[in-house]
Structure formats: C-alpha cells, structure tokens
Structure 1
Amino acid sequence: MINLLISCLNRMREVDMKIKQLWEILLVPALGLYLMSCAGSRPKPAGIEEAEKKQKVNEILDLQKTAETDTQRTEEDEVLKLLGITPEEKTEKVTSATSSDTALEQKVAELEEAVNKREQEVEQLRAELRAKENKIVELESILNDLKTVTPEPTTVTTSTAVNKSEFKLRYNDALNEYRNRHYKKAIKLFESLIQLDPNTSLSDNCQYWIGECYYGLGKYEQAIVEFEKVFAFVNSNKEDAAQLKIGLCYLRLNNKKRAKEELERLVMKYPQSEYLPRARRLLKQL
C-alpha cells in the first residue's frame, strides 16, 4: 500500500512538471503572437500600449497559477482517494485533531497545577513535622528535669538546705518563663542561678535552658555557644540533649556538613541516648 502511494505521488509530480513545461512552451508563443499583433496594429500612445502589454502578461500568468493550483488540488484529492478518505472526512479529521491537541494541553496544565499543589502540601507537612520534633525535644528535656530533681526535705533547717530549696524554686520559676516563651526573662533568671551556685545538680540544666532560650529566639549561633558550655559541667545529664541541639542549630543555619558531624558525634558518643532515633532520622535526610 505504501509503495503504491509513493508510486502515485511520483507519477503526480512528473505530470505536474510536464504541465509546467507545457505552460512555459505555450507562454512563449503566446507572448510572441501578442507582441506581433501589437506591432501590426495601429500605433497607440506609449502609456496605453504599455498598460495593455502588462495586462495581457498578467492574464497569462494568472492562467498558469490557476492551472498549478488545480493540479495541486488534484494531487491531494488523488492521495485522499487512495487512502479511502473523502474531502469531508479530511476536514472532520483536521478539526478532531485540533480539538484533541487543545484537550491534551488543558489536561497537562491541570496535572502540572496538581503537582505544584502537592509539592506545597508536602513542604508544609515537613515544616510542621520539624516544629513538632523540636517541641518533643523540649518536652523530653523538661520531663528529664522533673525526673532528676529530687524533692528537698522540708524539715531540714540548715542554711545549705534552705539555699538548695530556694535554688529549686527559682529554677522552676525560670523554667515556667521558658515554657511561656518569655525567653529573655528566662535567660536572666537562669544566669542568676548559675552565678548563685554553679555546682548544684541543676546548674548544668540552667545552662542548657539558656541555650534553648536562644534557640527559641532564633539566635542559633549564640545558642551553639551556650549549649557547648553544658559540657563544662561534670557528670551533666544534659550532654546528649545539648549535642542534639547543636546539630539542629547548624541545620537551622543551613550548614548541613557541620550539622551532620555534630549528629554523628551524638550517635558515636552517646549510644544509649534517648535522642538517638531522632538523630538517625535527621542523618538520613542529610
């Protein structure tokens, strides 16, 4: 079938070339006869004679163009006929193809819009997840504080016991200020407690919460400085929590390389830490 179509098309081209050659052959004698008739007739004014010549030439060229157009249409009709397609079906197929292209473009645009919307939803969910993870760390730290703080005997009247009791009360006040997001006020209270007695069992906790306050204020570089001070306290129960927050600070500063190093240090140095699962999740994302 394809070979037949190719053969027909080649044949049509040959016919078209012959027609063009025939027109060229006919056109030259026609022009010659016309010029001879003009020469034998009565002389006319130069302007009129020139205009008539141009008109005759244009008429002959128009006839040639009309013949070429008819030949081209005949070729198209012959091809459609070989394919079994009528002119009406050709028009319907062109219209149908145009409609299909428009529908396809509209469908692609809808899919692109849906993908963009999904990407925005995913990013929003990731942000919410990060916020919840940070909140979990804060709550876990507060819970650990409550577990490690032992109640002071109320019957002891020595000056040392009174100082510890007062320290604990002031510590709880500072912690409440942190929970209420009064970070600047909480920083002052925690710093005053460390100055009052840097050697209590809660002194390292005070230093840790100072770092958390700066983290809450978005001052991540200062928060790193404060969290690193936690390691200066002997037998601190906040070392692993501080190590995790240092990694999170670098992550907030978009320093992924340093964040990865700090989180890996947590995994290696504190294999029994309760923050280990979260550190590993974060490392998978880096």
Structure 2
Amino acid sequence: MIRMRDICVSFRSERQEKIFGVSRTPVLFNVSLSIPKGSCLGILGESGSGKSTLGRVICGLLKPDSGEYLLEGKNVYASRDGKKNLQNMLSVVFQDYTTSANPRFRIRDILAEGIRVKERKNGKKTDRSAEYCRLLELVGLDETFLDRFPHELSGGQLQRVCIARAVACEPEFILFDEAISSLDAHTQVQVMDLLKELKEKLGLTYVFITHDLTSVTYLCDEVMFLYKGRITEHIPVSRIAQTTDVYARKLLDSIIEFDEEYDDEMDVKESEESA
C-alpha cells in the first residue's frame, strides 16, 4: 500500500554559514520502506531520531527534498491528485488528546468532524444520530458520552473518542503519532487491544510512531528502527530478538535489563512479605 524510496529531508539552519544560498541541516537520509495493506509498521526511535519528521512526510505535511512517496501507486507529492488520494485514505491520531479535541466541543461535535470528511468524500449525507452511536460502540463507549465535554472524560476515554473520529472518515490507513504514550500502562494495553480489534474489523493499515519498544512488540507486525535520521533495522516483530543491529540491540537490552531488575525487586518484596 505504502512505498517510500530514498526520502531525504533537511531543514534550514539558523546559522547562515554560506555566502551564497542557504545552509541546511539534513534530518532524514535515504529512508526507504514499504507497508503492505492490512499490516502495522512500528517506527521506533529516540527523541531527535527523525521519526516525527518522517510522520509529517507520511501525512502529506512536509514535502521531502528528494525521493518518492507512493500510495497505492500514486506519487503523493507529484500532483494534486496524489495529495487528494492521500487525504481520502489517511487519518491521524495524535499524542496529546487534550489539544487535538476542541475543549469547547461536545463529544458529538468532535465526532462530527470526522463524519463531515466522510460526507465530502462520498458526496452523500449520513444519519448522524445512528453514526454517533455506531462510532462510540466501535471504541467501547456509548451514547451517554455524546453531550459531555472533553474535560469530563478520562484520558483513555478521550483518546477513544479521538480514535472514533479518525475512523469516522472511513480511512484505509491511520497514522498514530505517540498516540498512547500519555496514558497510564493499564490504559495503554486497553487502547492497543482496541486498535487490534479495529484493524481486523475494518481492514485498516497502521503506521505506529513511538519511542516505546514494548508497545511495538504488542501491536505491530514489523518494526523499523530510526537513529539520527537513518534506518538501522527493519525486521518482523516475530524475529526482533534475532537482530544484530547495534542500536536495536541496545534498546532490546535496556528492556530486558529493566524487566530483570523489576523481577528481582518483586522477588525481594515477596520474600519480605512472607517473612
């Protein structure tokens, strides 16, 4: 479904080092990837790795300096048709659900944003009342939430509303930009279970940008490690323990070390309690 070839991105430098022209700082270096329809790719990297920049390219918000971005065979940045094709197929769920949902809107108004996109795309009106209920049911909520404001919902509930809005426009793929990192661990698992269910039920394709390796192994089919703007590894999640990439191994070892320390602490606590 999605194919990128040699994507390069640079930003204008604050310091003007050149006498003629503009000095630029490279951010992404020859990034290439492919995402089959119905799969989930996790893009994993630390802060400053370039993963958010890559996300902006995928969303159509940042034209790369060079390279090719194909969506079902159409070049996204080559023409208006390519950009329109992206807009019709893509939806996004952001990290900060508090700012991505208008605090003055009721939940029905937030959902209506996605429904209007679908109506423009399909050229026909929707039975709003039935659609509100259907969307809320999809994400594990009910119609009693419709007249509430965002501040009256928990973080997990509001992010479910944002997911429902993303699904409302009937996209073919959804990009999640650190979409669960602001939630507590228990709620993260609940939301990831919901995303798995929606992916299967609606036949969606996911791009999941995160810095959390645990969530990638839980949700994604493949994982791509991004370090200082370069892909260091692209591997199926089922084979992630077999990676020989230095950066990937570093992240994996840090997770294993944390788990071992936690297990040791729990063993000590249990022995103290039994004593």
Q: TM-score range by the shorter chain?
A: under 0.3
> Which one has a larger percent strand, Structure 1 or Structure 2?
2
Indicate the structure whose relative CO is greater, using CA pairs within 8 Å and at least 6 residues apart: 2
